[in-house]
Amino acid sequence: MQLTGSRLIVRPVAPDDEREFLSAARASEEFHRPYAFLPLDEKEFADYLRRFDQVQAHGFVLRLLGSDELVGYINISHIIRGSYQRGTLGYGVFLPHHRRGYMTEGLRLVIRHAFETLSLHRLEAEIQPGNKPSLRLVRLLGFEREGLARGLIRIEGEWRDHERWALGHDV
Ligand SMILES: CC(C)(COP(=O)(O)OP(=O)(O)OC[C@H]1O[C@@H](n2cnc3c(N)ncnc32)[C@H](O)[C@@H]1OP(=O)(O)O)[C@@H](O)C(=O)NCCC(=O)NCCS
């Protein structure tokens, strides 16, 4: 499976991505903190891959068309079927590829895939109030703010509030 945009291709994250993914994640560790935490060694990468069982979770990498350079990742996790048909998005760019519109393009591709191929009906994003780039991004993509969830996720030992944003398909 592969999604192709104007500058990017999006593919499922795979064992072959390990070396480049770990090196990009290490180089972007400070940039991602405290908003995203990625595998930083081989064992963590193996655990990360196992999370994507293609039922409850799908993980993708974003690569540049042409050079194939790894520029980011997007995950759809916590997928619930039945009467819900929803999933939660996680995403991040790797330095130095931030603020070039890659995440906007990658998310557009993955969102279309989620609605049209995976038949999800709703995508959610949980974002810390201080994460301005991420808030701006989801607003730009048409997500709506649904409220503030207090103490939603424990990050670095502290229960942190998150804004809840959602995008519906055919609502
Ligand atoms: C959130 C994140 C993925 C955005 O990536 P990005 O490379 O900036 O995305 P894009 O280039 O597609 O930009 C999307 C929009 O956000 C804006 N933006 C990016 N960084 C910004 C910043 N620091 N302040 C304000 N706006 C910002 C861009 O300007 C763009 O809007 P515009 O096209 O109107 O100018 C990136 O900052 C990141 O990886 N952050 C760390 C991990 C993270 O927070 N993940 C999400 C957890 S909820």
Distance CA 124, CA 138 (A): 10
Q: What is the pLDDT of residue 170?
A: 78
Residue bearing the CA closest to ligand 1, atom 1: 134
Indicate the average pLDDT of the chain: 97
Enter the pTM of the model.
Answer: 0.94
Give the pocket of ligand 1 (CB within 6 Å). 32, 35-36, 91-93, 98-104, 125, 127, 131-134, 136-137, 140
Tens digits of residue pLDDT in 94-138: 999 999 999 999 999 999 999 999 999 999 999 999 999 999 999
Q: What is the pLDDT of residue 63?
A: 98
Distance CA 149, CA 111 (A): 23
pLDDT greater than 80 at residue 171: no
CA of 134 to the centre of ligand 1 (A): 5
Domain 3-125, CATH homologous superfamily name and number: Gcn5-related N-acetyltransferase (GNAT) (3.40.630.30)
